[in-house]
Amino acid sequence: MNIRDIQIGMAITLFVLGVISCTAGFWTILSRRYQQALRNISAHSARVTSKAIADAGLVPLVEALSGLVRAIDQLVRTSVGIGVFLCLAGATLCAVAYWMIYGL
């Protein structure tokens, strides 16, 4: 076993980790796990808002629901940001693996 064999093993490992990272990033970006919850809460918020016009006691509930909708929206944006980061990190790992094989 010489240095070149170790470099090839490291490059293969980095490439596999890069592919896994890219796959996880795409899965995170394309998953729709929070969007259904956001739609349901938005629908219920609209119903409560229409009732709140007639009943002043429901105003705090409407404010809480709108805050919840904003929080879930931010969660979706954060999830997409993490997915983009994973894709970029995976592409970088694959590029480093390529450089290790063909650049040396």
pLDDT tens by residue, 1-14 = 898 888 899 999 99
* pLDDT value at residue 97: 92
Binning pLDDT at 50, 70 and 90, where does residue 103 land? confident
Binning pLDDT at 50, 70 and 90, where does residue 24 land? very high
Tokens of 9: 């093993």
Tokens of 31: 């998953």
User: What are the tens digits of pLDDT across the range 39-87?
Assistant: 676 666 666 666 655 666 666 766 777 777 777 777 777 888 888 899 9
Contacts of 81 by beta carbon, 8 Å cutoff, 6+ apart: none
How far is it, in rounded angstroms, from Cα 4 to Cα 101? Answer: 9
Segments forming the whole domain that contains residue 31 = 3-102
How far is it, in rounded angstroms, from Cα 76 to Cα 61? Answer: 23
The structural domain count of the chain equals 1
Rounded average pLDDT over 34-42:
67
DSSP string, 21-55: HHHHHHHHHH--TTHHHHHHHHHHHHHHHHHHHH-
* pLDDT value at residue 89: 93
CA-derived radius of gyration, the chain: 23
